[in-house]
Structure 1
């Protein structure tokens, strides 16, 4: 048994304080700061339905790589040498993937696809081998099922990259559909069956903190875009107001998530006996909506800063209004999944944004700058309602049993 001891130490214990986020995990996130920047620029440069769909495919792929790695570092100790070097290797592959994003549907499709497949399969095989070395064969079997599902999707990634054209988008969408469906059926494979939900238990505090940190990474992209575009813009009253509008919008997004969501989610999953179920729905799936909303708002900020006083066109209107609507939807579902009631403020905010989208084309003289401040006013109203008008009484929050019924 002593010969297994060094390998045993590759895994986190469940002692108090053992679930803290390690510095190497924050270092790993730097690659994804770059990836989110690349994604927002891709959407800006390809602001068409197809271009946005390409961005969605790549955003989900980036999130999927990051989230699976977060699950692994929840189980394994990233401060141990082999795990640390695995993360560094993932960073290198992630850098290849990130640099390929602007041309992933052109001449760098194959580097993107290969980097993605290598990251997903390579990390999973590493964990399988680590589990087997310590005799945890049931855990190794769970990861084997996951690896098999990645093997199922890999041909679609590679074939899409090789074939290119319209089929690339279809094949990559099929690959992601396979991977998104896998957790819902608990990675069922013939002969091996599916994984027990109990085997997905996680350290809730670590999962919640890592997801919150990714939200900060995504919000940081808005700051980067705002600062970069403003520094290159002519200094006029309109650009100053557009700069302030972008900054205010980012702060409002931060308040929506971190004031009454992040910490409650941290406590909720930490206290739950079904942490795997909550981590699957709340942090693996629903956070995709939140990240998508943040990336889209960075696109809107750049569009408005570049042309604050131009006539309002349909693409700019769609992005500026859809970004907070998607973010509010993500927050609504996230907070509901951690036991909060259906928040009327969020529902009213989404209704107001929908009405604005319909009414904006007939409002005379409305500019991108004007629509941005109106949107900020709607989101600010949601924040104020949450904070002062309809204060959240913890005694009204659904208890753990009610919340478990919400989780898939």
Structure 2
């Protein structure tokens, strides 16, 4: 009996409860990432957390591709997801100490998830479409190469670990671009990536919800421990409104446009790779960095370091850049939305001014929220 999804049925692209249960691990992972960045808010810490975030993202998105092909309602597939859940939990636990004493656990859990999943896909596709199975063989080769580098870096000295893991990330990033080319097997084609567009769009939207939920969680937990003075209350309100505006900008128009584009495309695999596998990295990263900025504003509303201001302004900037290009590609327009381009320009100017004028975190946060509000209102008025 085939374990592949049966395409063409009314609920063939429905996201299952077991997939939502699996995502709970990544709620924890996102929290670990934001807290790790808060504890080491400098250039080195940003590079390290950025690398750990990318590794976490690739584990999650490859699992999304796997459950897009295989039916998670089948017991065998469900068991594989539970195994990935355990490995993902170990990976999340090791994130704060991945560059100290638990690098081996982070690297080994990445290797276990990436290679174990693709080997399971190969076994599960036995007897199915030969081209699809060959596609899984190519993916296995690439993920074995990157997984080996993740594991080697985990067991390497702390000084060499960054180099090993940057090499591993480069392999992960290049795989889809190179269509998983393997000597002797050639490369995959877009026809091999016969994804269910509705499922892919919904899964990535759910990860955006995870990131936004973590942002609200951090804001609420921090605010609950502080005195309710005017500056703190204002910082809390700005953080909440900022999260609402990010939701608005993504879900009010972006989600619908992206969903329509991939569902009605003749090459949904291309859009799944470009719009969802790659572009959503910027969107989710912006929300995570924005959550770090919100906590910094709550804790120190009047005085902030340049690194704190970079997080406060950089989060919305990353988010707007990601959503602008996402909507551009989804709507096949000549340019990204003008509202988003103006918002990006205003945030860049704000970032430059914050250096010379020594803006307070509270003022910088208020300016960022004002920019997001301007972009959201402008886009809504134009489209409606």
TM-score by length of 1: 0.91
- Which of the numbers 93, 117, 123 marks the counterpart of 1:123? 117
1:223-302 superposed matches below 5 A: 223-302=216-295
The Cα shift of 1:238 comes to: 1.1
Contact 2:114–2:147, Cα closer than 8 Å, also in 1: no
Deviations 1:293-338 (A, max 9, x none): 011001101111111122x320111111111111100001111111
- Which of the numbers 12, 17, 20 marks the counterpart of 1:18? 12
Alignment partners' CA distance in 2, 1:237 and 1:12:
56
The Cα shift of 1:189 comes to: 0.6
The Cα shift of 1:8 comes to: 1.3
Q: Give the structure 1 partner of residue 174 of structure 2.
A: 181
Alignment partners' CA distance in 1, 2:172 and 2:22:
23
Any unmatched runs of 5+ in structure 1?
A: 1-6, 393-408
Secondary structure of 2:297's counterpart equals: helix
Q: Does 1:83 align with 2:86?
A: no
Deviations 1:49-96 (A, max 9, x none): 111011111111111111111111111110110011110110000000
The Cα shift of 1:157 comes to: 1.3
Q: Give the structure 2 partner of residue 215 of structure 1.
A: 208
Alignment partners' CA distance in 1, 2:372 and 2:114:
37
Secondary structure of 1:309's counterpart equals: coil
Q: Does 1:53 align with 2:47?
A: yes
Q: Give the structure 2 partner of residue 169 of structure 1.
A: 162
Alignment partners' CA distance in 2, 1:263 and 1:289:
19
Any unmatched runs of 5+ in structure 2?
A: none
Q: Does 1:333 align with 2:325?
A: yes
Alignment partners' CA distance in 2, 1:202 and 1:297:
31
Contact 2:13–2:198, Cα closer than 8 Å, also in 1: yes
| Larger deviation, residues 8-17 vs 35-44 | 8-17
Secondary structure of 1:259's counterpart equals: helix
Q: Give the structure 2 partner of residue 107 of structure 1.
A: 101
Q: Does 1:323 align with 2:315?
A: yes
1:361-372 superposed matches below 5 A: 361-363=355-357, 366-372=359-365
Contact 1:39–1:102, Cα closer than 8 Å, also in 2: yes
The Cα shift of 1:155 comes to: 2.8
Deviations 1:121-152 (A, max 9, x none): 111111111111x3433211111111101121
Secondary structure of 1:338's counterpart equals: helix
Alignment partners' CA distance in 1, 2:152 and 2:86:
23
Q: Give the structure 2 partner of residue 151 of structure 1.
A: 144
Contact 1:12–1:75, Cα closer than 8 Å, also in 2: no
Alignment partners' CA distance in 1, 2:79 and 2:196:
22
The Cα shift of 1:340 comes to: 4.4
CA RMSD of aligned residues (A): 1.2
